[in-house]
Homo-oligomer: A and B are copies of this chain.
């Protein structure tokens, strides 16, 4: 593993490689060349080889890449076997849907608990996940050494809650609140899913600028 900075562009292609590899492994494909991957994904073979060589050589000249070995290498880079732990903060419609639907395990995370202020929810168990009172959140994170908080509270409480989490500090926040969050003076990583940014981007391309999306 090299020490120089690997660009975020490369990192964000890794999950796509993983997705492709899972698909072709399920089909029984044992080996693949960078050229084949390229045409399946709409990238160049050069770029794919460059990407993997940021982390070391996973291929073999004249042969290509062993799909299962490559899959394991990418999984390991992404920390999929690190047993990260997560909690959900805010069990409204969206938190609820993610709790029930989202496969944390396939991303290397174990969902341990959920937290809400709503007394009607507190004490319940949903899909095997206990829902606790938000008052106990900070202590729970400290005591159980939780890595990540999925933040799905209402917009109005997003910033104070994020600040509280950063001050623990928790290692990472996965932000679904559609509020721009920063972690000044804290090491907490913040990764946001901004639904509206994504939809507005589509609005732009629908707005007569469709030449070149995808």
Interface of A with B (CB < 8 Å)? Answer: 5-6, 8, 11-12, 14-16, 18-20, 42, 77-80, 82, 84, 92-94, 96-98, 100-104, 106-109, 147-148, 171-172, 174, 180, 182-183, 187, 189-191, 193-207, 209-214
Contacts and interface: CB of A to CB of B under 8 A. Distances in A.
A121 to B, nearest CB: 15
B189 A77 contact: no
- Which 3 pairs between the two chains have the least Cβ-Cβ distance? A79-B207, A93-B97, A15-B197
Contact of A203 (B42, B107, B194): B107
Contacts of A190: 213-214
Contacts of A199: 104, 107, 109, 174, 191
Nearest to A148: B202
Number of copies: 2
Contacts of A203: 78-80, 82, 84, 107-109
Contact of A196 (B11, B106, B172, B211): B106
Nearest to A3: B211
Nearest to A76: B207
18 contacts: A15-B196, A15-B197, A78-B200, A78-B204, A78-B207, A79-B203, A92-B101, A93-B100, A94-B97, A108-B200, A108-B203, A148-B206, A172-B205, A182-B214, A189-B206, A189-B214, A191-B213, A193-B193
Contacts of A8: 212-213
B6 A209 contact: yes
B197 A84 contact: no
A189 B204 contact: no
Contact of A207 (B82, B97, B148, B214): B82
B147 A206 contact: yes
Contacts of A148: 202, 206
Contacts of A210: 187, 189
A52 to B, nearest CB: 14
Contacts of A214: 182-183, 189-190
- Give the most central of A14, A77, A205: most B CB within 10 Å: A205
